[in-house]
Amino acid sequence: MECRRTELSVIKEWVLYWRKFMPQLGTRKLYKLIKQKLIEHEIKLGRDGFFTYLKSEGLLVKPKKSFIKTTFSKHWMKKHPNLLKEEGLHNAEHVLVSDITYLESDQGVHYLSLVTDSGSRKIVGHHLSLDMRAENVVKALKMAVKDKRYVENSIHHSDRGVQYCSAIYQDELKANGIQPSMTDGYDCYQNALAERINGILKQEFLIYRCKTIEELKVLVDESIKIYNEMRPHLSLDMETPNQVHNRKGQLLELA
């Protein structure tokens, strides 16, 4: 037993290395990241054994949950149909999903707008602001469309919030030839991917309280970079968003 404990002790260093970048990363993804190290050191340890080891070392993480409403859909502006429910479009090559979540600093509540590529799970646009005005939310979309792969060839899916229905947001979509798609208001899971990305950022990365919005912006930028470049996804066969996104980009260039 003592020999086994000594053999496994090196694992803690590997875990703490990855936790520096992703403090709330779950067991399965951690196991994927250190598996090559286990092989190199000829340590036989399955995923269940790894879970037991983390538990014994007090290295398991507990998710945090909280909620502030960020969607107001009872407005007079035009709501667009849910294109992702139509046959042939739910597997469209380029689908952008957008959502807004809140973050806090010592200065108060702030709002983070995100635009994510649904195929690669890469966050391709983001903007942190003091309020949820459409003028601020659209800045995340403008960042996303700098990647010309979305122009004239994409669907933009969101909830029916006033920001996404606004003229300024819809004009930006139209200018780039992107089709608007919205939840129909009856199923909270219709924008589940966007909300899932929000949850990952808040529960795994944005766990430190900042003094100012300027500090928070730096933390958001760093967190999104690490999420895109380092965090493996189960839905991507344990690849990172960047790996999948870049591969798709290369295929587009060859097409």
Question: Which whole-number Å values give the CA distances from 248 to 90, 95, 117, 119, 122, in the listed order?
Answer: 18, 13, 11, 9, 12
User: Among 34-43, 60-69, 230-239, which stretch is predicted with the lowest mean pLDDT?
Assistant: 60-69
For the chain, give the percent of residues with pLDDT over 90: 43
pLDDT of the residue at 93:
61
Q: Which residues contact 112 (CB under 8 A, 6 or more apart)?
A: 100, 101, 102, 103, 126, 127, 128, 198, 201, 220
Give the mean pLDDT of 30-43: 85
What average pLDDT is seen over the chain? 83
User: Among 148-152, 181-185, 214-218, which stretch is predicted with the lowest mean pLDDT?
Assistant: 181-185
Length of the chain: 255
For the chain, give the percent of residues with pLDDT over 70: 82
Q: Which residues contact 88 (CB under 8 A, 6 or more apart)?
A: none
233 or 69, higher pLDDT: 233
pLDDT of the residue at 137:
96
pLDDT in tens, 104-115: 999 999 999 999
pLDDT of the residue at 185:
61
Q: Measure the CA dihedral 194/196/201/207, to 10°.
A: 140
pLDDT band at 90 (very low <50, low <70, confident <90, very high): very low
Give the mean pLDDT of 168-184: 93
Pairwise CA distance, residues 108 & 219, whole Å: 16
Pairwise CA distance, residues 210 & 208, whole Å: 6
Q: How far is C-alpha 10 from the geometric centre of its chain's CA atoms?
A: 31
